[in-house]
Amino acid sequence: MTVRLPNGAIFSIASAYGAPKQISALSNAKPPVATADAHGLLDGAIVEVMSGWPGLDGRVARVDAVDVGSFALEGLDTTDATRYPAGAGIGSVRPVTTWQPITRVLEASMSGGDQQFYNYGFLEDTGDEKQVPTTRSARSIGLSLSDDDSLPHFSILRQADEDRLPRAIRFQLPSGGVIYYVAYVSLSTMPTITKNQAMARQLTLSMLGQPTRYSA
């Protein structure tokens, strides 16, 4: 059994994107293969996916198996034709070209993701209720950042907070693995003020869709 500590983990936010690449077809496969003319992507590129499939829309993926006019989205699985109807997944991807590390993190916390349930019982039942899982609650990550406006990540976080456009987030693990997801950014304008404690700015990353994880 392996126990892993988060010490040394690094959050980063996408600070620049390349031009979107239109996808004319997306296969039902593991991983799905995208057809895109003159896409110009290379193996290892990180892209945000915009797709007609809700289960894929807003995901972040690593490009693999690049060929002329096509590429695979490593780590994703669209083989379920019920959830991913054939021909309905077309859209686009936009590559992340620059990442800005978010440094001086004092505290980090995760909230949400709890399974929700529908409880029911029939009129003729005299025993316990039954339960069916439904959706999970919205997830967010909270970071407490040392209050220093000279740090380069603050200008990018402020812009993301003001324009209310989601950004790709990268979470690099000490093991060498990495987790990607898309999130809305909310940054407090005033630092916390507690005697004998570091002043801190509160950052909330409200996650959209499922994260994508890659091993080292």
CA distances from 9 to 5, 89, 215 (A): 9, 34, 14
Q: Domain residues of the chain, as ranges?
A: 16-96, 101-122+129-214
Q: Which residue type sits at 215?
A: S
pLDDT score of 84:
95
pLDDT tens sequence across 65-114: 999 999 999 999 999 999 999 999 999 999 999 999 999 999 999 999 99
pLDDT score of 3:
86
pLDDT tens sequence across 12-22: 999 999 999 99
pLDDT score of 2:
79
Model pTM?
0.92
Which position has the higher pLDDT, 47 or 5? 47
CB-CB contact of 100 with 152 (8 Å) = yes
Domain 16-96 has CATH 2.40.30.180: yes
Which position has the higher pLDDT, 2 or 45? 45
CA distance 152 to 104: 11
